[in-house]
Structure 1
Amino acid sequence: MLLLYFNQIGWPSSLPTSEKASFVKSVLREKKNAMDEFLISKSLPLRSGVQEFIDNAYTEKVPVAIVTAYCKSGDKVALSIVEMLGQERLPNVKVIGDNEVEQSMYGQLVLGKGVSSSLEEQLVKEVKKAASAEKQRIAEEVASMLKLSVDIDTTSSERLEKIVVALRAAAEHIGLPVNNCVLVAGSQPGVSAAKMIGMPCVVMRSSLTARGEFPSAKGVMDGFGGADLTIPKLRNKIKS
């Protein structure tokens, strides 16, 4: 898009043709830095209807996780979001940042942090912790994780891998299998990562994705609450 933009309005007169590529990269880098600073500032309000959506989820006993782990300034973004949501909503929301991902079982297996033994030994250790019914659940979950970690390493880009790990960790922290969770995504990378692990997904449009198409998503919405995304509508989207 930047190439088309500068081709249309003209490139800086002092810029040699051979340096156009590096110039575009520097513009994109500065744009990303500015966006990160804007996200962690208090200048960016929450999207209209978000508080009501979270309150509705709490009333309906639907757990909510805000995944910030795959953002560059994820922890700062999380702090900003929590402040805007208000302390009264904090017990109803789990924020999944880098620390939560690293502490999750899946994060440890994939990232290799906190795992001193082989994956087979780790599985045995987890199985021994639980009673008979719980043993089976953990064994199946870890086995699924081990398979997915291979898929991630061999077929995914680095960014998709990070998003997949974050989504898996979020599901683990709220105590649900990924196919019983729903990702409310704002961009294609989130949609792609959700599809990879079988997590249903609904896209929340923005000015950046107004013309985008998301065939793998269960639905595309324009906002929260009212005629747009509510908990009952979210459930209907997943059932359809």
Structure 2
Amino acid sequence: MAIVAPSSSAVVVSFALVSTKSLYNVPLPPTFASLGNATRSFSSSLLLRCGLKVVLCRRPRSLEILSVSSSSSSSASDLPAALLFDCDGVLVDTEKDGHRISFNESFAEKELCVTWDVELYGELLKIGGGKERMTAYFNETGWPEKAPKAKEERKEFIASLHRRKTELFMALIEKKLLPLRPGVERLIDEALDKGVKVAVCSTSNEKAVSAIVSFLLGPERADKIAIFAGDVVPRKKPDPAIYLLAANTFGVDTSSCVVVEDSAIGLAAAKAAGMKCIITKSSYTAEEDFLNADAVFDCIGDPPKQQFDLAFCTNLLAKQFVS
């Protein structure tokens, strides 16, 4: 059924029965629960006072966000001061067939007899940072025989493994074997065209992140995008340091920033920094808990399957979309 608010800032809400798992569940308001099969008019203040078209899905006692598009434009003063993207899983779904493969190749070159399968790597992703991930794994399972014994030497051993892993990963990116996720170029272009500052904030190695931005987004965009990555901060996600650094460097308030993340640890970092956060689920994070997110989608999306746009990011600053 369709529900239309008869005003210039109309909000159109469409309900349909679905069997898929909810992208983002919230309690079903009594107003909606009592609507039945009729088409009714109501004040747009029940949802958003921001000129959005919102497509929702009706399920017992819950609502599922399927897509959002803007029906009106926002003034420049209302725009986010900065749009901050995580890299892996947000710009590119890199983890399973990119970073994991590169880690395994670096282990094989050193003859360490270590292989991270898909399931294991999914668990290891709960640890932010590749060097930290390897260290935690070896501390838990035992260090390889070929690894040094002294603590400081082990740190260099891990660093050398990570450097080689980064080289292997960059080769995949340079060959464009891992594509950008749908909607990434579109949303970044919308932000840059409106003068919104754009950055990529990642726990991954800075060279790997720079390669993704340069080779997949192109040099013209890359020149306009700031990169905060790797060891540029002492504490990695879920610590908010990387996002606080971006806001401080740009000279903007954290409350005026919108973050696009794909993981629970990234969400925790963004919220701890006092920023709005949109989740675009990736292959490894689809089942994670995103209750604290401001909105959750499968991807950013391109027309005709666009999920959200810059106007939606702008409206998040005025009012949390899901509460």
Instruction: Indicate if the aligned counterparts of 2:260 and 2:277 stay in contact, CA closer than 8 A.
Output: yes
Partners of 2:179 and 2:317 lie apart in 1 by 29
1:39 Cα shift?
A: 4.8
1:173 Cα shift?
A: 2.3
Please give the secondary structure, in 2, of the residue aligned with 1:53: helix
Cα displacement string for residues 197-224 of structure 1 (whole angstroms, at most 9, x for unaligned residues): 2111111111212222311111012222
Instruction: Indicate if the aligned counterparts of 2:201 and 2:229 stay in contact, CA closer than 8 A.
Output: yes
Match of 1:231 among 302, 307, 310: 310
Aligned to 1:182: 258
Amino acid at match of 1:59: D
Flag the 1:36–1:186 CA change in 2: closer, same or farther, 3 A.
farther
Aligned to 2:281: 205
After TM superposition, where is structure 1 displaced by more than 4 Å over at least 4 residues in a row?
32-39
Unaligned runs of 5+ in 1: 3-20, 102-106, 112-157
Match of 2:187 among 29, 34, 53: 53
- Output the aligned Cα RMSD: 3.3
Aligned 1:24-43 pairs, distance under 5 A: 39-40=169-170, 41-42=172-173, 43=177
Instruction: Indicate if the aligned counterparts of 2:213 and 2:222 stay in contact, CA closer than 8 A.
Output: no
Instruction: Indicate if the aligned counterparts of 2:199 and 2:227 stay in contact, CA closer than 8 A.
Output: yes
Flag the 1:202–1:36 CA change in 2: closer, same or farther, 3 A.
farther
Aligned to 2:207: 75
Aligned to 1:15: none
Flag the 1:196–1:52 CA change in 2: closer, same or farther, 3 A.
same
Match of 1:165 among 223, 233, 241: 241
Match of 2:141 among 22, 33, 36: 22
TM-score, structure 2 as length reference? 0.43
Aligned 1:189-200 pairs, distance under 5 A: 189-200=265-276
Partners of 1:203 and 1:39 lie apart in 2 by 25
Instruction: Indicate if the aligned counterparts of 1:38 and 1:44 stay in contact, CA closer than 8 A.
Output: no
Flag the 1:164–1:75 CA change in 2: closer, same or farther, 3 A.
farther
Q: Percent identity among equivalent residues?
A: 28
Flag the 1:98–1:205 CA change in 2: closer, same or farther, 3 A.
closer
Flag the 1:89–1:212 CA change in 2: closer, same or farther, 3 A.
same
Instruction: Please identify, of 217-226 and 37-46, the stretch whose mean Cα deviation from structure 2 is larger.
Output: 37-46
Partners of 1:216 and 1:38 lie apart in 2 by 35
Cα displacement string for residues 162-213 of structure 1 (whole angstroms, at most 9, x for unaligned residues): x422111111222211111111111111111122221111111112122223
For the pair 1:220 / 2:296, whether they are aligned, the reply is yes
1:85 Cα shift?
A: 0.8
1:35 Cα shift?
A: 8.4
Partners of 2:206 and 2:275 lie apart in 1 by 21
1:52 Cα shift?
A: 1.5
Flag the 1:224–1:35 CA change in 2: closer, same or farther, 3 A.
farther
Instruction: Indicate if the aligned counterparts of 2:209 and 2:227 stay in contact, CA closer than 8 A.
Output: no
How many residues of Structure 1 are paired with residues of Structure 2 in the alignment? 161
1:38 Cα shift?
A: 6.8
TM-score, structure 1 as length reference? 0.56
Flag the 1:160–1:210 CA change in 2: closer, same or farther, 3 A.
closer
**Bigger RCO (CA 8 Å, 6+ sep):** 2
Please give the secondary structure, in 2, of the residue aligned with 1:223: coil
Partners of 1:45 and 1:36 lie apart in 2 by 18
Aligned to 1:63: 197
Flag the 1:35–1:199 CA change in 2: closer, same or farther, 3 A.
farther
Aligned to 2:103: none
Aligned to 1:136: none
1:55 Cα shift?
A: 0.9
Aligned to 2:154: none
Structure having the higher Rg: 2
